[in-house]
Amino acid sequence: MTDHILTALYLMLSVAAAWVLAGLATSVRLLPKVIDLTIIPTVAGLGSLIFTTYGAGRRFGPDRIGRLSLFGTTVGGLGGLGLLLIALMLDVL
């Protein structure tokens, strides 16, 4: 992930703070109409898994599989964002 320990600690603290603030905002109802955004990381993870499995099946090297994983995450995230925008335009959510 990173070679510097302070960067990793700051990252973990910022994630924990965001988690606590999101929990408080949801429980206090600061966000009256909360839109479920979990489709984006779900589809990003699936895209990464699909591209990584393809690379492993083709017996690519570890560096190339790593690039395929990043590409799959990016493509999957953009696809998930597209699905979310389509759902919002159709007023499904």
Instruction: For 16-52, write each residue's pLDDT tens digit.
Output: 888 777 776 665 555 566 667 778 888 888 999 999 9
Q: What is the C-alpha to C-alpha distance for residues 85 and 67, in angstroms, rounded to an integer? A: 27
Residue 45, Cα to own-chain centre: how many angstroms? 7
Query: In 3D, which of 77, 81, 75 has the Cα closest to residue 51?
Result: 75
Instruction: For 50-90, write each residue's pLDDT tens digit.
Output: 999 999 999 999 999 999 999 999 999 999 899 888 988 88
pTM of the predicted structure, to 2 decimals: 0.58
Q: To which residue do tokens 């966000």 refer?
A: 31
Q: What is the C-alpha to C-alpha distance for residues 92 and 90, in angstroms, rounded to an integer? A: 5
User: What is the token pair recorded at 72?
Assistant: 């799959």
57 contacts 49 by C-beta, under 8 angstroms = no
